[in-house]
Structure 1
Amino acid sequence: MQDFRSLAAGELEYIVKHTSNHWRKIFNVYAKLLLDWHQVNNRKNLPESWQKYRDQELFQSHSQEALIFSHFRLNQNTQAINIIAGKTYAANVDLPPLVWLDSYFAINKQHRLIVAPYPDYRQLSNERITYADERVEISTTVVPLHNQSNSGKIHHILIHRVLP
């Protein structure tokens, strides 16, 4: 697996403040998706709101999540869950065979791969987030990212997307 750099405290806030509103929306959608995902999978000690999840957990070193901007390569870490952000992007990369659950979500359980709508409010709405969290079933074996000891080991989630 590639080495990832987690966000430093306050870095997400800095990115949102000094870039377009587009990034704020993306981070908000990811926070909603991942907080709901962890709640469905009974993770303990979660913040009580998606806003607090975004500010305290999202892409932090203890969160076991990564946002990747490189060309997609299937991760050899079979414990990782890969979320491909956007059907258009997914159509242009070499993916293993997918099972489409509806017109928005596709999965490959063997490779622990999910294709989801692009992370903005119109494409990945609250209703679609709920649908994904309740119906997209991929085994969620708990593993630490980079084999670091971690008191709250959680699901390793890699999110792939292209630059806007």
Structure 2
Amino acid sequence: MPKDSRLGPDFPRVTLYLPHRPRGLIQLIENPNAHALLSLNSNHWRKIVTLLAKIASPVADGWRQFRDQDLFRDTALGFSPELDEGSHWHWIGGKENLQRFGHLHHDAQPLVDQSEVLIDPDKRLLLTPYPDYRQLSNTMVDRIRVALESKGFYDT
């Protein structure tokens, strides 16, 4: 996998796959941290990083501290349409992005009352709308967290 195809640790709890790369990726790879990513990029990236923290944080109401201090110790961003073998869970954000993973076979089932969010616990796969506040509301984030917790996501 090319060096600029991911940002974060070798064995993250979750990798969020996106179709585009942030500005300053090479320097971020050398020193991954949320503050630097946000200072080099637009508010669009603030939304993505915040939603990643809200879902991945081991403590639901601790997402701000998690984002600012631990995000890239525990999570990664992937930019290629290939699942990272070192990642424990895989989160593909956006239907168009999912199409890039054409070879991906899964048995993801929708969450109750959230047909836009699907989970395949056997493949440790989370499929959601693109990570933006308009598409992933706090209510939806809470439902995703409940579903992931029931699958042992926060135990690792």
TM-score (norm. length: structure 1): 0.64
- Report the AA paired with residue 53 of structure 2: A
1:20 and 2:42 equivalent? yes
Residue in 1 that maps onto 2:121: 109
Residue aligned with 2:115, SS: coil
Residue aligned with 2:92, SS: strand
Residue in 2 that maps onto 1:95: 104
Q: Which runs of 5+ in 2 are unaligned?
A: 10-27
Instruction: Flag the structure with higher strand content.
Output: 2
- Report the AA paired with residue 52 of structure 2: Y
Matched residues, percent identical?
31
Instruction: Flag the structure with higher helix content.
Output: 2
Deviation digits for residues 105-135 of structure 1 (CA, Å, limit 9, x no counterpart): 1122221111122111111111110010112
Whether the aligned pair in 2 keeps the contact of 1:105 and 1:116 (CA below 8 Å) is: yes
Q: Which runs of 5+ in 1 are unaligned?
A: 41-47, 143-154, 156-164
Alignment of structure 1 residues 5-154 onto 2, 5 Å:
5-6=8-9, 8=31, 11-35=33-57, 38-39=58-59, 49-60=62-73, 63=74, 65-73=75-83, 75-76=84-85, 80-93=88-101, 94-97=103-106, 98-101=108-111, 102-136=114-148, 137-140=150-153
Alpha-carbon distance in 2 for matches of 1:113, 1:91: 15
Whether the aligned pair in 2 keeps the contact of 1:104 and 1:116 (CA below 8 Å) is: yes
Backbone CA RMSD of aligned residues: 2.9
- Report the AA paired with residue 39 of structure 2: K
Whether the aligned pair in 2 keeps the contact of 1:112 and 1:139 (CA below 8 Å) is: no
The number of residue pairs the alignment matches comes to 128
